[in-house]
Amino acid sequence: MSEVRAFPSIPTKILLPLDFSPSSQSALEMAADLAQHFHAELHLLNVIPMFPTTTLPDLIPEGEFLEKARTFAEDHLAKCQTTLKAKGVQSTSSIEFGNDVAGNIMEVVERDHIDMVVISTHGISGWRPLVFGSIAEKVVKLVQCPLLLLRSVSPKASFSTEDGMRSELVEAKTQK
């Protein structure tokens, strides 16, 4: 009979970066299942991007944007934690600010002694991956602990409205 191979070390803290996109919500379900299975704590993380002071200084009041983004993230993280608690999953959450989302994720991994990262592809990113590269791709290259990369279907482009709610852009497809 073949020996069942065990996880090299059972994770006790699992990190799930969330941007509240449909793919990160699917990752939440998977991470919750893993946390239940391993009796691990699930740490939810949302990173709010900071804009350089030269980016649209007159059109986007930075303080107001950051406060709305924080309130939006706090509300959604609280809903996620309520759902996790109902499933019997112990969870914590944090909000970070920064221009380098992957760097922020790596800081949390180190600071909070994370044993495993669950991350989804194709979150809410709009044009950023075209210019800066995929956040998930950067995390895969940098993280030293076990990582579960959940591939999802590429979503339609999206943007954040002034009140922080996500809206989809309708893509017109033409036949030639």
Extents of the domains making up the chain: 13-157
- Phi/psi of residue 138, nearest 5 degrees: -65, -40
pLDDT tens-digit series, residues 3-18: 554 556 899 999 999 9
CA-closest candidate to residue 126, choices 118, 134, 114: 134
For the residues of 42-81, what is the DSSP string, one character each?
Answer: EEEEEEEPPPPTTSSTTTS-HHHHHHHHHHHHHHHHHHHH
pLDDT tens-digit series, residues 19-70: 998 888 999 999 999 999 999 999 999 999 886 555 555 566 778 888 999 9
The pLDDT value recorded for residue 53 is 52
pTM (2 decimals)? 0.75
Pairing of strands 166-168, 91-97: unpaired
pLDDT tens-digit series, residues 101-136: 999 999 999 999 999 999 988 665 544 444 445 888
- The third-level CATH classification (topology) of the domain covering 13-157 is Rossmann fold (3.40.50)
